[in-house]
A and B are shown apart, each in its own frame.
Chain A
Amino acid sequence: MISIHHLHKAFGKNHVLNGVDLTFDTPGIVAVLGPNGSGKTTIIKSILGMVLPDEGTIKVQGEDIKGKWLYRNQIAYLPQIARFPENLTVAELLRMVKDLNTGTAHDAELIEHFGLHDFLDKRLGNLSGGTRQKVNLVLTFMYDCPIIILDEPTAGLDPISLVRLKELINKQRMKGKTILITTHVMGLVEELADEVVFLLEGHIHFRGSLQQLKSQTGEGNVERAIASLLAKLPSC
């Protein structure tokens, strides 16, 4: 599905990614973890073509993405911060994204799912942060894409919406999709992830299933396991 080969990226003197090799070829949920600034978002943005790598290749469904844009049809992406044009209404925004994509959109059920019906005619500038995140989620899950990338999906959601979101993610997993999640909420990782990728200073420090992570570190939960991975580093 996605294969990343020898990816390097520096922003000025700051080397964010130092030769990352990663492949995601099985369906399931992969949690991409790491401290702030470890390069999680940079990897995701490279896959989407928003960040242009200095070195290395990225292939999505076997096709090199350099200079391409149509492949994004196959990726659903939830960005970290949701801010939309203030003067458009929710319905207009949905129409615009539908205009830009091909394929059938399943927006009606999602609007139902998150209870957004009353907000459709409201201007996006007048919505609360949580509601905006829900709109963001509708936009993300509207299309049946084989690859789903979620960057901090739980930010600003109330508990009910959080439950709904988890339902939604699980439903997508059942359909056999590849789902990448970055998060700092370890509970979510424990609950959802099949596999964990732990990034540190632009390298992949650990990759394996939740079980492997726990047994390798000898810890009972993910939070502690990650902490002990970090503690073993000489620099810390």
Chain B
Amino acid sequence: MLKILKYSFYDLIRSRWTYSYGGFYLLFTLSLLWLSNDLSKVVISLMNVVLLLCPLIATMFGVMYYYNSREFTELLLAQPVRRTSIFLGQYLGVAGSLSASWIIGVGVPFALYGVFGSEQAGNFAMLLFVGVVLSFVFSAMAFFIALKNENRIKGFGLAILAWLFFAVIYDGLLLLSLSLLTEYPLEKFSLIASMLNPIDLSRILILLKLDVSALMGFTGAVFRKFLGTGLGMGVAFAVLGLWVVGPVMGIRRVAGRKDF
């Protein structure tokens, strides 16, 4: 698996797409830092972009990479390698190169502005972490969907739909249900519902870290109370972990049964 990972990573870090993706973050972060010297504001602005963009790009990239390397995968399948290692290796290559673009694109400007050693270092680390996790979650989902669907257009459509669901539709449904059920105590419900969406969970983790949860009103206080504890944080990280593990297990299962 590590060998496959190594070479798909080599392949990907030389692709134009990886460069443009990293370059975009670089320029974007630099211009944000140039406009405002308040690091915590920049972290929040970046968060708003990243929560949508990281998942979107990871989804597109994952699907594209899988379909583009299909013939090459066939060649690998004829080698004495275990099936699941091929797909997990490729997946980790995609997720790894996306994370590398993200870390370098955002990390370099922040490092130049001296984030390390300032009191914003922790918040920034959380932002970086969340971007990496979201890349891993959504590229795994994309790989799983692509493996399931032989038809590229259908695969692409479903993957984008999955992204749209988690990025937009889920929140809409959540808000709708909250406003319809205002009569009932909904703290637990909204807490659990937010936990079940990796994008929402990431947003909450950053906001809590930034200590601006007061902005979220009463629910924010509930979140603060739960996630402020060691247990709450542990649960949040575990759920994020599950969001990676789940699709990866799916990839393993589908890859083991598929005909090529």
Contact = CB atoms under 8 A, between A and B. Distances in A.
Contacts of A70: 80
Contact of A72 (B12, B69, B71, B79): B79
Most buried by A among B71, B78, B259: B78
Contacts, number: 73
A139 B74 CA distance: 13
Contact of B7 (A48, A82, A96): A96
9 contacts: A50-B77, A52-B257, A72-B80, A79-B75, A82-B71, A85-B72, A87-B14, A100-B79, A100-B81
B74 A101 contact: no
The A interface is mostly helix, strand or loop, or mixed, namely loop
A48 B10 contact: no
B29 interface: no
Contacts of B76: 100
Interface string B71-115: 110111111111100000000000000000000000000000000
A50 B74 contact: yes
Nearest to B15: A87
The B interface is mostly helix, strand or loop, or mixed, namely helix
B11 A100 contact: no
Contacts of B11: 85-88
Interface in A40-54: 45, 48-52
A92 interface: yes
Interface string B1-40: 0010001101110110000000000000000000000000
A98 to B, nearest CB: 10
A75 interface: yes
A96 B86 CA distance: 13
B184 interface: no
A83 B76 CA distance: 11
B78 A75 contact: yes
The bracket for how many chain A residues form the interface is 20 to 34
B257 A50 contact: no
Nearest to B13: A87
Contacts of B8: 85
B71 A79 contact: yes
Most buried by B among A84, A85, A87, A139: A85
A139 B7 CA distance: 16
Nearest to A71: B80
Most buried by B among A48, A51, A87: A87
Interface in A90-130: 92, 96-97, 99-102
B71 A97 contact: no
A227 interface: no
A50 B86 CA distance: 12
A198 interface: no
Contacts of A52: 257, 259
Interface of A: 11, 45, 48-52, 69-73, 75, 77, 79, 81-88, 92, 96-97, 99-102, 139
B260 A79 contact: no
Contacts of B71: 79, 81-84
A84 B10 CA distance: 13
B7 A101 contact: no
Contacts of B80: 69-73, 100-102
A79 B81 contact: no
Contacts of A92: 7, 10
Contacts of A87: 10-12, 14-15
A82 B11 CA distance: 17
A96 B76 CA distance: 10
A52 B256 CA distance: 10
B113 to A, nearest CB: 32
Contacts of A97: 79
Contacts of A86: 11, 15
Given A72-B80, A100-B80, A88 B7 contact: yes
A81 B73 CA distance: 12
Most buried by B among A70, A96, A101, A102: A96
Given A50-B260, A69-B82, A83-B72, 10 more contacts: A48-B77, A52-B259, A72-B78, A72-B79, A79-B78, A84-B75, A87-B12, A92-B10, A100-B3, A102-B80
Given A70-B80, A100-B80, A101-B80, A88 B75 contact: no
Contact of B3 (A51, A72, A75, A99): A99
Contacts of B70: 83
